[in-house]
């Protein structure tokens, strides 16, 4: 299982249920990595998409505590156990956890790889991702090196988990 996230210098990922910044190369990377795959998200993340609709050309799985929540074009589950059971139907390498914060925290131990876009800027944020540099089980496997978008520096970093829960 994989996860994909963009973080700022302080591992911030959002403010008021919105991304901190939109970098076209990061958006392209996200599309390339997840198209044709399974994406797992929370309800609030889904509701940030255009027209609050699931992502095209992907199997969308939504985890929400709301028992009445339904959305056309997505599989909706209400417990972590239900989602993990559903995910057994797909190859692990085709599964991407895409947020938000509580979904990332719940699924992080199950992920083998984390695709992190690290942005070299500290934004105002109210939502954070766990700092993988401080977690001994996570190590950097690959890095794109520095990239720029106008005056913003960022890099794509792939972390690997030495002890994923299976």
pLDDT tens for 76-101 read 999 999 999 999 999 999 999 999 99
Domain at 2-161: CATH code: 3.40.430.10
What is the distance between the terminal CA atoms of the chain, rounded to a whole angstrom? 9
The pTM score is 0.96
The pLDDT assigned to 73 comes to 96
Kindly tell me the burial class for residue 46, based on how many C-beta atoms sit within 10 Å of its own C-beta (0-12, 13-18, 19 or more): buried
Residue 166 has pLDDT above 80, yes or no: no
The pLDDT assigned to 42 comes to 97
**Contact call for residues 70 and 52 (beta carbons, < 8 A):** no
pLDDT in tens, 105-162: 999 999 999 999 999 999 999 999 999 999 999 999 999 999 999 999 999 999 999 9
Q: pLDDT class for 19, splitting at 50, 70, 90? A: very high
**Backbone φ, ψ for residue 91 (5° rounding):** -60, 135
**Backbone φ, ψ for residue 102 (5° rounding):** -70, -35
CA 16 to chain centroid? 17
Alpha-carbon separation of residue 156 from 6, 59, 82, 101, 122 (angstroms): 9, 24, 31, 19, 17
Q: pLDDT class for 30, splitting at 50, 70, 90? A: very high
């Amino acid at each position: 299982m994989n996860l994909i996230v963009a973080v700022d210098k302080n591992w911030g990922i959002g403010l008021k249920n919105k991304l901190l910044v939109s970098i076209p190369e990061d958006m392209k990377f996200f599309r390339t990595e997840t198209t044709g795959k399974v994406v797992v998200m929370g309800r609030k993340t889904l509701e940030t998409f255009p027209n609050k609709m699931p992502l095209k050309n992907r199997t969308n799985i939504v985890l929400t505590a709301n028992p009445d929540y339904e959305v056309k074009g997505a599989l909706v589950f209400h417990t972590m156990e239900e989602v993990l059971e559903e995910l057994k139907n797909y190859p692990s390498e085709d599964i991407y956890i895409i947020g938000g914060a509580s979904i990332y925290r719940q699924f992080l131990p199950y992920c083998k790889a984390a695709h992190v876009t690290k942005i070299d800027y500290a934004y105002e944020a109210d939502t954070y991702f766990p700092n993988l540099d401080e977690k001994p089980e996570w190590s950097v496997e690959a890095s794109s090196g520095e990239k720029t978008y106008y005056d913003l520096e960022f890099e794509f970093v792939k972390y690997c988990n030495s002890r994923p829960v299976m």
